């Protein structure tokens, strides 16, 4: 099937939003929340394209890329992540991803990334706008909170912060850089 895509992301709201948008554009969409669901769907449906989140519970998106390419070598994969770096972008493309995009990404951006198949993503060190330390801290705190299913006390313990300190940090808006 030509217009088939699998969306692999542990964030259900984001995954469902993307699925609706791809469906409106005429794609047959399969979704998966983690590595195991994705491998099962790839074996069963053999989609032509995949959008893979890099950081998921259990096995990572990098592991999924390598294993998915072994199962279905012609699968085109675009990696999405909110926790990117030059090293992970390079690793993803070495494993077979056609492109690497930061979250949030929309359908147009993803389709443009698939169109760049064969082109090397422009990941030069001097072109990479590194996020600020404050932004990285905010993203890390929110990821740990997500991993703790919103439990402030558990997240504070994992982060080594007092619960009130964590609450103050969470009440701040995310840094723009």
The confidence score (pLDDT) of residue 174 equals 65
Instruction: Give the model confidence (pLDDT) of 68-88 as tens digits.
Output: 999 999 999 998 877 666 677
Same-domain check for residues 156 and 108: no
Q: Give the tens place of pLDDT for each residue, 47-57.
A: 999 999 888 88
Is residue 138, in this structure, part of any structural domain at all? yes
Q: What is the DSSP letter of 58?
A: S
Tokens (6 digits) for 5: 């895509």
What is the arithmetic mean of pLDDT over 142-160?
Answer: 87
Domain tally, the chain? 2
CATH number for the domain that contains residue 151: 1.10.10.60
Please give the pLDDT value at position 5: 95
Q: Are residues 77 and 104 in the same domain?
A: yes
Whole-number average pLDDT of the chain: 83
CB contact at 8 A, 141 and 155: yes
Read off the pLDDT band of 121 (50, 70, 90): very low
Q: What is the CATH number of the domain that holds 56?
A: 3.40.50.2300
Range of the domain at 154: 133-171
- Residue 176 falls within a domain, yes or no? no
Phi, then psi, of 59 in degrees rounded to 5: -70, 145
Q: Which of 67, 58, 73, 53 is nearest to 6 (CA)?
A: 53
In the predicted structure, residue 124 carries a pLDDT above the cut 70: no
Q: Based on the domain organization, do 49 and 13 belong to the same domain?
A: yes
pLDDT band at 127 (very low <50, low <70, confident <90, very high): very low
What pairing do the DSSP bridges indicate for beta strands 76-81 and 4-8?
unpaired
- Note the pTM of the prediction, 2 decimals: 0.66
Assigned domain for 142 exists: yes
| 94 & 143 share domain | no
């Amino acid at each position: 099937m030509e217009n088939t895509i699998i969306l692999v992301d542990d964030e259900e709201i984001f995954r469902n939003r993307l699925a609706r948008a791809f469906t409106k554009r005429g794609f047959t969409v399969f979704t998966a929340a983690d590595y195991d669901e994705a491998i099962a769907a790839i074996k069963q449906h053999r989609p032509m394209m995949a959008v893979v989140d890099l950081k998921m519970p259990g096995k990572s998106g990098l592991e999924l890329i390598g294993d998915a390419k072994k199962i279905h070598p012609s699968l085109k994969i675009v990696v999405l992540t909110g926790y990117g770096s030059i090293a992970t972008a390079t690793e993803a493309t070495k494993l077979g991803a056609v492109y690497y995009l930061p979250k949030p990404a929309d359908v147009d951006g993803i389709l443009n990334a698939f169109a760049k198949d064969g082109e090397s993503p422009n990941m030069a060190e001097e072109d990479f706008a590194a996020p600020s330390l404050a932004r990285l801290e905010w993203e890390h705190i929110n990821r740990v909170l997500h991993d703790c299913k919103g439990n402030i006390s558990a997240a504070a313990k994992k982060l080594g912060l007092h619960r009130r300190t964590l609450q103050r940090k969470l009440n701040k808006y995310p840094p723009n850089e």
